[in-house]
Amino acid sequence: MTARFSSVSFGCLFVLAAPTGAGKTSLVHALLAREPGIRLSVSYTTRTPRLGEKEGIHYHFVDQSRFDELRRTGEFLEDACVYGNWYATSATWLKQQLESGQDILLEIDWQGAGQVRKIFPDSIQIFVLPPSLAALRERLEKRGQDSVDVIERRLAMVREEFRHYVDFDYVIINQDFTAASNDLAAIVRSARLLAPRQRVRHASLLRELISPNIED
């Protein structure tokens, strides 16, 4: 059973989802470089590490048996099977981080985003789209991580993913990377300044400012 807890917290929870090849990971790296106050959640996965990926940095790599055990004990906030591999987010770690005031970014797929939305209705959910199917195909081919057959299967599935953009708060079209990166940073900064969030983060200051007992 998935752990459930209050969505009220000091930290902001940002959820970024996109079909493979839309540039999500590059946007995440750019955001973390310019907004050091955000921490990226490290997901669990059953897939094998790709070249250059490191345990605990890119993912927590576990076998299917360990993944199933963690899911049974309620460790995961969300989990989803993507292209035959399972991915999940640690609920325990996420709760601790948000309650301590840390802003967290989840880089997940639309299925996981939907599960997070039910538990954290105030999460800021962002969907990234490519400028065209042709551009998406070109990016997948240039990436050189998948065979032609795998690329074709993924392209056949992305239309279903595209349909879920309506479930998100924001949609970024990643045609120009710099513009898309600026859009993402603008969303993050504006979300941090929302009145309900500021009321939580600066409760002492706001009490002081509106108290009738303060001497001039």
Q: Kindly report, residue by residue over 172-209, the tens digit of the pLDDT.
A: 999 999 999 999 999 999 999 988 888 888 888 999 99
What is the model's pLDDT at position 77? 87
> Which parts of the chain sit beneath pLDDT 50?
1-8
Domain membership flag for residue 208: no
- pTM of the predicted model, to two decimals? 0.80
| Structural domain range at position 197 | 13-202
Query: How many domains does the chain fold into?
Result: 1
Which CATH number belongs to the domain containing residue 92 in this structure? 3.40.50.300
Asked if residue 37 is part of any domain, the answer here is: yes
105 forms beta bridges with 14, 40
For residue 6, the model assigns a pLDDT of 45
How far is Cα 113 from Cα 127, in angstroms, rounded to an integer? 10
The reported pLDDT for the residue numbered 183 is 97
pLDDT of residue 82: 82
**Residue pointed to by tokens 């239309």:** 159
Question: Is 214 domain-assigned?
Answer: no
Cβ neighbours of residue 156 closer than 8 Å, sequence gap 6 or more:
none
Residue 164 domain flag: yes
Q: What is the DSSP letter of 50?
A: P
Positive/negative CA dihedral, 43, 88, 173, 190: negative
Query: Is 96 domain-assigned?
Result: yes
In sequence order, which residues have a C-beta less than 8 Å from that of residue 36 and are 6 or more positions away? none
Provide the pLDDT for residue 14. 97
- Please indicate, yes or no, if residue 118 is contained in any of the structural domains: yes
Question: Does residue 150 sit within a domain?
Answer: yes
Q: Which pLDDT score, from 0 to 100, does residue 80 have?
A: 86
